[in-house]
């Protein structure tokens, strides 16, 4: 049995609209308590105009913020086949169905190709509202194919991470994706093509422990939670109190784990500048 299946069509549009929760007109910033008109927030790439708090973005909004205009989506029809027939508090199959209905996606990543400031790129963006952006076989396969697409077209690859890590419900098969994606990145590297990793809030677990930290540039958004294990587990293991700001972008930058922390409003321009420096388009 294959670990993923190819659906004939993504979820029907009617199912998507029926379950979509209507969004409020106003949003309160959790950081400065400013009340913001939702349309203004969207126009400001979901950054608070008053205090620069970065709200979480959906995968689609993320791609819209980076691509110049239209992009071509790839492998949208891949869905998990629930290879372990897994059940915890409820069957994994039911969780998948609920997330698919809520997001209109079949799994937690969207891959597209298009141009960024005129430069051809392949971008994979994760959807946190799909089982915590967790990485199962489908995400692993889609990101690997995105890298292979970059190789075939001699195009830089960008992965925007927003993930709780490997997907428990697919067990060791999830962990194998770390090696698979890393191996594909090594091939991209040997071909002299750039890979940029963008780490957003949160980027943790097996995603951090593999491709999110393998970028030619690892760029994080401000104040993003980035780590492997959670702080409680680490404190219990090393029996020490963790320092202030531990596992946030700025702390990681100060300790040499990141190349830059970039405000989302500057992200596209920063990526374009880096790619022009690193890569001669074919």
The verdict on 29 binding Zn ion (CB under 5 A) reads: yes
Cβ contacts of residue 264 below 8 Å, gap of 6+?
A: 45, 46, 47, 54, 57, 65, 221
Select 25 or 172, whichever has its Cβ closest to Zn ion: 25
Closest approach of Zn ion to the CB of residue 35, in Å: 10
Evaluate whether 252 touches 241 at the Cβ level (below 8 Å): no
Region near Zn ion per CB under 5 A, out of 13-21, 32-40, 78-86, 239-247: 32-40
* One of 51, 179, 183, 242 touching Zn ion (CB under 5 A): 51
* One of 12, 13, 19, 32 touching Zn ion (CB under 5 A): 32
Select 36 or 226, whichever has its Cβ closest to Zn ion: 36
What is the spatial distance between Cα 126 and Cα 212, in angstroms, rounded to a whole number?
Answer: 12
Closest approach of Zn ion to the CB of residue 261, in Å: 18
Select 29 or 175, whichever has its Cβ closest to Zn ion: 29
Evaluate whether 82 touches 150 at the Cβ level (below 8 Å): no
What is the spatial distance between Cα 29 and Cα 48, in angstroms, rounded to a whole number?
Answer: 7
What is the spatial distance between Cα 162 and Cα 222, in angstroms, rounded to a whole number?
Answer: 13
* One of 5, 16, 31, 223 touching Zn ion (CB under 5 A): 31
The verdict on 50 binding Zn ion (CB under 5 A) reads: yes
Evaluate whether 137 touches 170 at the Cβ level (below 8 Å): yes
- Number of residues forming the site for Zn ion (CB under 5 A): 8
The verdict on 48 binding Zn ion (CB under 5 A) reads: yes
Q: Which two tokens stand for residue 146?
A: 């995105």
- Contact residues for Zn ion, defined by CB under 5 A: 29, 31-32, 34, 48, 50-51, 53
């Amino acid at each position: 049995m294959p670990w993923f299946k190819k659906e004939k069509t993504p979820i029907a549009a009617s199912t998507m609209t029926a379950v979509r929760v209507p969004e409020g007109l106003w949003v309160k910033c959790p950081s400065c308590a400013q009340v913001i008109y939702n349309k203004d927030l969207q126009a400001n790439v979901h950054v608070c105009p008053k205090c620069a708090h970065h709200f979480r973005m959906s995968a689609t909004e993320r791609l819209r913020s980076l691509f110049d205009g239209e992009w071509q989506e790839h492998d949208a029809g891949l869905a998990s086949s629930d290879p372990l027939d897994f059940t915890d508090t409820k069957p994994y199959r039911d969780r998948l169905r609920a997330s698919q209905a809520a997001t209109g996606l079949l799994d937690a990543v969207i891959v597209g190709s298009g141009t960024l400031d005129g430069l051809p790129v392949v971008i994979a963006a994760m959807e946190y509202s799909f089982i915590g952006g967790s990485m199962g076989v489908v995400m692993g396969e889609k990101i690997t194919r995105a890298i292979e697409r970059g190789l075939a077209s001699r195009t830089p690859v960008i992965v925007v991470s927003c993930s709780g890590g490997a997907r428990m419900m697919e067990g060791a098969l999830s962990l194998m994706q770390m090696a698979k994606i890393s191996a594909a990145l090594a091939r991209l590297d040997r071909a002299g093509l750039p890979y940029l990793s963008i780490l957003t809030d949160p980027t943790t677990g097996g995603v951090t422990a593999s491709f999110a930290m393998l970028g030619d540039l690892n760029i994080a958004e401000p104040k993003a939670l980035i780590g492997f294990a959670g702080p409680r587990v680490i404190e219990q293991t090393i029996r020490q109190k963790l320092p202030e700001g531990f596992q946030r972008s700025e702390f990681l930058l100060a300790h040499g784990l990141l190349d830059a922390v970039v405000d989302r409003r500057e992200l596209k321009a920063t990526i374009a500048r880096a790619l022009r420096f690193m890569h001669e388009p074919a």
